[in-house]
Structure 1
């Protein structure tokens, strides 16, 4: 199996069996974003307590890349402090632009499967949609 095949399988696994899909019932920040060019929409919810993202969930509709990315993002940020999560949004965005990312700073795990999206500029917005919602919500929690 090639690396591209493995990455496709990881993306499809997160798309077909998303992690953290649903709603947080109490004390959450909700950010709704959409990508009007392709129709992807996502609602990211997080519960932040003492500067730590205790819970992160999402709902939405869209392509496999946008929904898989939201699933991976929620897995990554749970338990992180808000400042670190915002930093990871920046690293992820840079990775989507084709920059090499230090995996010591950002342990990619499943997210590595999204690196190939950088080759398709029209799909970058799909991959970053949930991350941008997280960033907006994290900044909102700091206010």
Structure 2
């Protein structure tokens, strides 16, 4: 488990996912895939998130666009965590993450690297950054995936 009090380790997680994301790739329409455009109301961040859903699982989650370090790292980690999950499991991850970001009760034992964002709720101007990609993923799963 990651120590949420180790500021150096948390910063390292953020920077690794921002500077060398595993899930940043061109977003193109494909069978069984859904795309959602997300733009921030408070800055210039804008991304497309894409989920491929097959055999009752998220088989691929990617994003592309312009991000700050918070939104870029968050969507990269989220894509990693929801891949190979069922719709219900992915939504549970997204809900738990959302609760943490807005300062509500959450289960920190299931967050993995997302725990790096545990203090975002105290930085009100960064909440939109941390939720930009998550909101797009949640929209796809709730509204598009049947």
TM value normalised by structure 1: 0.90
Summarize the alignment of residues 1-143 of structure 1 with structure 2, pairs less than 5 Å apart: 3-23=6-26, 25=28, 26-27=30-31, 28-104=33-109, 107-143=110-146
SS in 2 for 1:19: coil
| Aligned pairs, number | 140
Unaligned runs of 5+ in 2: none
Cα RMSD (Å) of the superposition?
Answer: 1.6
- Per-residue CA distance 1:20-78 (angstroms, 9 max, x = gap): 11035522100011003111111111110132101111112121000000100000000
Separation (CA, whole Å) in 1 of partners of 2:62 and 2:145: 19
CA contact (8 A) 1:24 1:47 kept: no
Aligned-residue offset at 1:100: 4.0
SS in 1 for 2:118: helix
Unaligned runs of 5+ in 1: none
Segment drifting more, 125-134 vs 18-27 = 18-27
